[in-house]
Amino acid sequence: MIKHIAAITFIFICTAIAWGILGATIFDRTYNSGSSAEGRVASTWGAPQNQSPPTASFDEVIQKKEVSIENGHKIETVTQDKVTTPLTLEGSHINIDLNLEHRQKGLLWYSTYKVAFDGAYSFHNTSSKDQAVSFHLNFPTDQAIYDDLVFTVDDAPIRLTNEKNSASGIAQVAGGKTATLKIGYKSQGLNDWRYHFGTSEVTQVRDFSLQMTTNFKDIDFPDNTLSPSKKTETASGWILNWDYTNLMSGYQIAMTMPEKLQPGPLAGRISFFAPVSLFFFFFLMLIITTLRGIELHPMNYFFLAAAFFSFHLLLAYLVDHVSIHMAFAICSAVSVFLVVSYLRLVVGMRFATREAAIAQFIYLVAFSYAFFLKGFTGLAITIGSIVTLFVVMQATGRIRWKEKFITGQTETPQIEPGGRIISVQN
């Protein structure tokens, strides 16, 4: 018996090492290619976006007199200085439409999205004279496209000057009047969308409203950002509102796009956990065969371990081509088929389709599927382990293990009509 268990333990350790190598390979394929893949996604689709409000200012030429004394003579010179005066942003009314469209590269899904931006900004000319005001907008990122660009002042389009990551135009604003700058565009981004109120850490914001519409339910606000003032659930997502009359804040408004279940990291975690599944399966097979007097040679355990390993090996390379759920179903069916078709030849169809198949489904398929249950994986596996321990303890409570290890014989408990338990040597 001791030699038998030692041989099974050796097989288990070798298989666990193979799983460790496989898991490390999966994570290497995932993250070494993931960094470059994210750059390729950003270059073809768009980078994370961080929009800031536009600015408005006008330039004035001021004459300045300077008096100096040279060789005892008083000399007066007149210089002209250009002074830039910013216009006060009196109000901001913004509408954002976010549409999530996941894209896969290699073993990772990326949270790409389309965004439609529509903003109306009110700027007040505090000067008493008409001014040629320059309106300037910094785009949220230089790795993006901006379609259907709207840039109007008081509903009149203005001629734009484009730079690397900005656009600007000039319009006349009457003295003491307020001009409304309307900006709109359609673009694409990655992972998250942000709106910040200004360049300084703490900014004053007046008459501000932002309405964000999403086509996804799983909304997430990053740390150090403002929560919405109002949330309204729709059939496909949310309508989120941020409304402020006079706000002083250094925080931003932001939305992090929900992630899909990542096939690469999931397959890697399942592979690293696989020795636990095999341990429970071997343990249960050893108990059942001991109770029933069934002989399984260590070579039989070797082939069972290989069938378990085939599940994770196939999963590691199948998730590149089909969805993670489809890959999981195919790998489960293949591994169970290998075990059942093998054990029917070794032991018989009844044992293969009942005890072995059920045990493999619980400890390989169900335990592995627990990794799909985000936040409940550990609890699900713990409950399964405790239930297994209870069943095995009840089934083996009357076994005389000392006799097993000394003689190597197996006992099958039987109950006489009077209720007395006897043991039959096999």
pLDDT in tens, 226-237: 999 999 999 999
Burial class (CB in 10 A: 0-12, 13-18, 19+), 418: exposed
3-class DSSP state of 115:
strand
Q: Are strands 88-100 and 203-214 parallel, antiparallel or unpaired?
A: parallel
Beta strands in 352-426 (DSSP E): 411-415, 421-425
Does the pLDDT of residue 81 top 70, yes or no?
yes
Parallel, antiparallel or unpaired: strands 88-100 and 112-124: antiparallel
Residue 390 phi, psi dihedral angles, 5° rounding: -65, -45
**Which of helix, strand or coil describes residue 360?**
helix
More confident residue, 15 or 129: 15
The mean pLDDT value for 22-39 works out to 77
Site of tokens 């599940």? 311
User: Would the CA dihedral through 288, 292, 293, 297 be positive or negative?
Assistant: negative
How sure is the predictor about 33, in pLDDT bands with cuts at 50, 70 and 90? low
CA distance 292 to 79: 107
Mean pLDDT of 153-181: 89
Give the model's confidence band at 136: pLDDT under 50 very low, under 70 low, under 90 confident, else very high.
very high
Tell me the mean pLDDT in the region 190-208: 85
CB-based contact 255:220 (threshold 8 Å): yes
Q: Count the helix, strand and coil residues of the chain and give each as a percent rounded to the nearest 5.
A: 40, 35, 25
- At residue 410, the pLDDT reads 46
Mean pLDDT of 176-195: 93
- Residue 121 burial by Cβ neighbours in a 10 Å radius (0-12, 13-18, 19+): buried
pLDDT band at residue 18 using 50, 70 and 90 as cut-offs = very high
Is it the case that residue 78 has pLDDT exceeding 80?
Answer: no
Q: What is the Cα–Cα distance from 56 to 135, expressed in whole angstroms? A: 4
Percent of the chain residues topping a pLDDT of 90: 50
Q: What is the mean pLDDT of the segment spanning 110-121?
A: 94
pLDDT digits (tens, 9 = 90+) for 364-389: 999 999 988 877 888 888 898 898 88
Candidates 56, 92, 44; CA nearest to 195 is 92
Q: What is the dihedral of CA 408, 409, 410, 415, to 10 degrees?
A: -140
- Please compute the mean of the pLDDT values over residues 182-208 and round it to a whole number: 88
**How much of the chain, in percent, has pLDDT values that exceed 70?**
90
Instruction: Give the model's confidence band at 407: pLDDT under 50 very low, under 70 low, under 90 confident, else very high.
Output: low
Residue 41 has pLDDT above 60, yes or no: yes
Distance CA 129, CA 15 (A): 83
Mean pLDDT of all residues in the chain? 86
Contact at 8 Å (CB) between 422 and 414?
yes
Give whichever of 36-50, 53-67, 340-354 has the largest mean pLDDT: 340-354
Q: Looking at mean pLDDT, say which of 59-73, 187-201, 212-226 comes out highest.
A: 212-226
Joined tokens for residue 255: 């939305």
| SS3 label, residue 170 | strand
Cα dist. 249→198, 226, 242, 252, 289 in Å?
Answer: 10, 9, 13, 8, 69
Predicted confidence (pLDDT) at residue 211 exceeds the cutoff of 90? yes
Evaluated on CA atoms 17, 22, 23, 24, the torsion sign reads positive
Residues 6+ apart with CB under 8 A from 119: 53, 92, 93, 94, 95, 182, 183, 184
Instruction: Give the helix/strand (H/E) hosting 320.
Output: none
